Amino acid sequence: MNDKPYTKIGNTYYPKEPQTEISESEIKGSYWRAWSEGEKYFYEFDEGHFASKFRTVEISCDDYQLLKSGKITDSDLTLKYKVKSNHE
């Protein structure tokens, strides 16, 4: 069983991709999360560097379900809502 946060190949260590945690009403990833509150859905992502500036936006139910099912990535969602909020 290898539960280390890295893979070693030769003398080089490579970080593993963090696992996304999914519960009934929340999805958590590395420096982002999405959750539901009743009929509203929210997405919080790191807009800065090194988890220094978080932005929370309301997202659609469809986007939340796509993220939960793995049909879109957090990067896709961050780009969509980062661009959308900059034009509002």
- Kindly tell me the burial class for residue 86, based on how many C-beta atoms sit within 10 Å of its own C-beta (0-12, 13-18, 19 or more): exposed
Tens of pLDDT along 12-70?
A: 888 777 678 999 899 999 889 999 999 999 999 888 766 678 889 999 999 999 999 99
Helix (H, G, I), strand (E, B) or coil at 49: coil
What pTM was computed for the model?
0.73
Domain locations in the chain as residue ranges: 21-86
pLDDT at residue 1, rounded to an integer = 47
Tokens representing 66?
């796509």
